[in-house]
Structure 1
Amino acid sequence: MGFFVRDLHKQITEMYKQQSNQQKPMTIYRGQVVSSDEFDKLRKSKGGLISFNYFLSTSTNIDISKQFARSSPENKLNPVLFEIYIDPKISSVPFASIDSISVFEGENEILFSMHTIFRIVKVQDIQDEYLLVNLHLTDENDPALMKLTDHFRKEIGDGDSLE
């Protein structure tokens, strides 16, 4: 499994290098369902940081993302729509448009590498349909992110497990 993760991270990084000069700032979306605990934490986290500890699939198409947010038959799960602002010029986080290699046509998919960190800018309920969470992709020079990174380096060491 580790080889797959490393290889996918490298592919995203290569695609990012190829695409970053062509990309402009944009807004992308991710719809998903979360537990009630996670839902409540998101509501209270404005201004904080959030990390997705997996490869993050997003779309430029809000309607597709809304479908994913509403896709759970379980009443215990809550729909969330993440609206994510990214600016390739200020970010060093690898992400890439994978339309040309995706199995799912028309999803306009953008894939982020693991452990991407975002700042929670705004959280709002949208007419009892879903929770809308506005995120901005963090820059490695973000003061809160630098403080958090320094803390983790002291706690667990300074290795890069994906390289």
Structure 2
Amino acid sequence: MFMKWLSKDKALTRLSLKNPVHFLALGFGSGLAAKAPGTFGTLAAIPLYLLMAPLPLTWYLGLTLISVLAGFYICGKAANDMGVHDHGAIVWDEVAGLLITMIAAPAGWIWLLVGFGLFRFFDIIKPWPIRWLDAKVEGGFGIMIDDVLAGVFAFICLQGLVWCFS
């Protein structure tokens, strides 16, 4: 079924997982999921988060900032190579969004699950101004900014929950 779906999407045939930019844009391949690629992209971010979580906060923030800044190029390049703005398979923005959500989150699977859920909620619902930015801003910046902002919203909510329950 996967190959049948893949062969029908001509834009995807223009990418290669052997290309490092495409590999990252596709969330290590997770964006190729036939259903809910954004959710699979966010799931693919979990191992990266778990590698980064033990780092000092300044290192975590620095790597998250690099993932966002690099994402402007990564997502823009993949979109240009595909000839489609913000194709669903481009999920590096979800990776960066989860990393933003989890800034300074307490250790533990419950906080990771809550952060995951909050990020997916804001990414899917797209409250103002996320929906407006998603519709109005083009290029790699446009692909990234709605998920960056969804990550910020989810971060604020997660930290509020941490404050209430810790």
Asked if these proteins are the same fold (TM beyond 0.5), I'd say: no
Larger Rg: 1
Higher relative contact order (CA 8 A, sep 6+): 1
| Higher-helix-fraction structure | 2
What is the TM-score with the length of structure 2 in the denominator? 0.31
| Higher-strand-fraction structure | 1
